[in-house]
Amino acid sequence: MLDIRFVRENPDAVRENIRKKFQDAKLPLVDEVLELDRRNREIKTEVQDLRANHNKLSKQIGVLMKQGDREGAEAVKAEIAKDTERINALSEEEKQVEETLLQKMMIIPNIIDPSVPVGRDDSENVEIERFGDPVVPDFEIPYHTDIMESFCGIDLDSARRVAGNGFYYLMGDIARLHSAVIAYARDFMIGRGFTYCVPPFMIRSNVVTGVMSFAEMDAMMYKIEGEDLYLIGTSEHSMIGRFIDQVIPEESLPLALTSYSPCFRKEKGAHGIEERGVYRIHQFEKQEMVVVCRPEESPVWFDRLWKNTVDLFRSMEIPVRTLECCSGDLADLKVKSLDVEAWSPRQKKYFEVGSCSNLGDAQARRLRIRVNGEKGRYLAHTLNNTVVAPPRMLIAFLENHLQADGTVTIPEVLRPYMGGTALLVPKKG
């Protein structure tokens, strides 16, 4: 969410930013916000004047009563009563104006970084760099669920009977591999100086609206019926929510945290074959990284975060590339975002396995996360990035480590988490 003073002083820049995000339908919001802001300040000024007059008149009553001028005193009382009635009416209008203003301000997208390429959607994202050599083996690579089934490692049919589509049972070596990747990612991030956390898996609505846009909330979040609680779509939600209404001492920054959680997502809409299996699902587990820092430090942390993901995947011998997200592919709160994509030998292309985002002070403004510094208080900057989400990681891992005989090699860094196992052998042909 933008600072209303910024919108007031830079309306053309706000409009141009909306156009760059190809959200022209939101352009009228700028004038609506400016008018609401004007009226809000007008109300406050009138109320202030009325209260000053109220205090002045109250003093006159005592003077008139001492002079024995009861008629004059009653006239002043009547004037005070009239002013009080006006103040009450204005205060009610002020409340309504501020609520409407806040709602509209939360729909206006954040100002994107000047380095963000302008484009309509993810098809116009820009490749930045590749890490590792993508290889297509000389044997056919099965679909990822077929690989898992060869190890008796997945049961989609039972999951459909129990919970419906978008769920799965992982078993045996595949389940162990899943847990090993999570544990390795945890220790990898701890080794890079991040503090490990396990957050609440449910959050209140005021935290939800603080960490994401209304559109994202509707598309992603599951609400607990009869409760002011939502299941988290990523641990970033509750990790940033931890600092709601907090004033953080500047000397304690930056806060670099890595968190584990299950994640729950609606995943609305139909998806193609490549997004079936365990690619796009309603429940999965993830290791996340979150940073709260000074504004001037957020660009540096942005680069550190996505490089952590690249290094993690490369340590497991999986080729990856980075893509700069274009303006039209950025969620409304984001200043800048970069996707990490892993190589799929079966599809002969890369697919998304993580997303790194700098949100500037947008989440801090919504959640009132302030920093107490030498020169006064200011809003923190927040960033987040996926360390690893095993369902998609498993796809990349199995495809890149599958051998012609159906075995799957385990890279050296992961073997301690697999009891020393160096090779997974199929249970069935």
pLDDT tops 90 at residue 324 = yes
Sheet (strand 283-293) strand order:
126-131, 320-324, 336-344, 349-358, 381-388, 283-293, 255-264, 195-197
> Residue holding tokens 């019926």?
225
Q: For residue 237, what pLDDT is reported?
A: 94
Sheet (strand 370-373) strand order:
247-249, 370-373, 376-379
Q: Read off the pLDDT of residues 293-318 as tens digits, 9 standing for 90 and up.
A: 999 999 999 999 999 999 999 999 99
Please, what are the domains in the chain?
4-105 (1.10.287.40), 122-424 (3.30.930.10)
Cβ distance 31 to 123 under 8 Å? no
Q: At what angle do helices 70-105 and 27-66 cross, to 10 degrees?
A: 160
Q: Is 332 helix (H, G, I), strand (E, B) or coil?
A: coil
Residue 360 CA to residue 136 CA, distance in Å, equals 40
More confident residue, 404 or 213: 404
Q: What is the mean pLDDT of residues 261-278?
A: 70
Q: What percent of the chain has pLDDT over 90?
A: 84
Specify the DSSP element, H or E, that contains 398: helix 390-401
Q: Read off the pLDDT of residues 117-131 as tens digits, 9 standing for 90 and up.
A: 999 999 999 999 999
Give the pLDDT band (50/70/90) at residue 43. Answer: very high
Long-range contacts of 101-107 (CB under 8 A, 24+ apart): 101/4, 101/33, 101/36, 101/37, 101/40, 104/29, 104/32, 104/33, 104/36, 105/1, 105/2, 105/4, 105/7, 105/33, 106/1, 106/209, 106/213, 106/214, 106/366, 107/26, 107/29, 107/213, 107/214, 107/332
Q: Read off the pLDDT of residues 90-113 as tens digits, 9 standing for 90 and up.
A: 999 999 999 999 999 999 999 999
Q: For residue 267, what pLDDT is reported?
A: 76
pLDDT tops 70 at residue 191 = yes
Q: For residue 397, what pLDDT is reported?
A: 97
pLDDT tops 60 at residue 365 = yes
pLDDT tops 90 at residue 280 = no
Q: Is 414 helix (H, G, I), strand (E, B) or coil?
A: helix
Give the pLDDT band (50/70/90) at residue 67. Answer: confident
Q: Read off the pLDDT of residues 195-213 as tens digits, 9 standing for 90 and up.
A: 999 999 999 999 999 998 8
Is the whole model's pTM more than 0.75, yes or no?
yes
Question: Is the alpha carbon torsion for 209, 214, 218, 219 positive or negative?
Answer: negative
Maximum Cα–Cα distance for the chain, whole Å?
Answer: 109
Give the pLDDT band (50/70/90) at residue 270. Answer: very low
pLDDT tops 60 at residue 275 = no
